[in-house]
Amino acid sequence: MQATYKTIKTDGLAETEIKKSRFLCHLKRVTSEEEAKVFIQGIKKEHWKANHNCSAYLIGEHSEIQRSSDDGEPSGTAGVPMLEVLKKNDLINVCVVVTRYFGGIKLGAGGLIRAYSHAVSHGLQTVGLVMGKLQQEISLDLDYSLLGKLQNSLPETTIKETIFAEKVTVICRVDEEQVENFEAEIIDLLQGQVTITRGATGYEEIPIE
């Protein structure tokens, strides 16, 4: 599992108008090529009256699967520029479809490239991006007398839950690459008066401003 990834915060839709043509940018998180194809076909069915439904997607931890389609626009003027925007933002597991309703004014090859690129960039700004960080769940069992000392040394964002029983159990989430350092610091802070248990690993998604 990779330590971090970037993707869109949520599925969504953003619209722009360029020289009377409407560009609707549909974005969706996907985890397989089949899922991406179903999404693209769904948009095409919904917007069957549109002049073009161009698409691009990146799938896999290292974007192993990359596809794009100009859907009738001049070759290289839509799908590839859309894909490049996703790649420049280092995103994974994203499918984008830009629907164009022609407004009567031709944009030319350069204009089309800029329009489709802008539509995707605007779409990403609209739905937002997140950074996923691989984190380890760590349980700390300690005496009540040490709780204040521990809480004062930990950022609030690190503590997931505190359970009060015969002893106190503080459940923390720590970035995977920081686990060994974190455990060593806790042992040193509490002078060994703590029982440390590692739990599940998973991704925590943090919005990118």
pLDDT digits (tens, 9 = 90+) for 61-111: 999 999 999 999 999 999 999 999 999 999 999 999 999 999 999 999 999
What is the pLDDT averaged over residues 11-38? 97
Res 157: pLDDT: 81
Q: How many other β-carbons are positioned within 10 Å of the β-carbon of residue 184? A: 10
pLDDT in tens, 175-203: 988 999 999 999 999 999 999 999 999 99
CATH C-level class of 131-208: alpha beta
Topology at the third CATH level for domain 4-127 = Ribosomal Protein S5; domain 2 (3.30.230)
What is the Cα–Cα distance from 76 to 87, expressed in whole angstroms? 16
- Could you tell me if 96 and 26 are in contact, meaning their C-beta atoms sit under 8 angstroms apart? yes
pLDDT, position 156: 81
Q: Are 13 and 69 in contact (CB under 8 A)?
A: no
Strands 52-59 and 195-208: unpaired
pLDDT digits (tens, 9 = 90+) for 134-149: 999 999 999 999 999 9
Q: Where are the domains of the chain?
A: 4-127, 131-208
Q: What is the pTM of this model?
A: 0.84
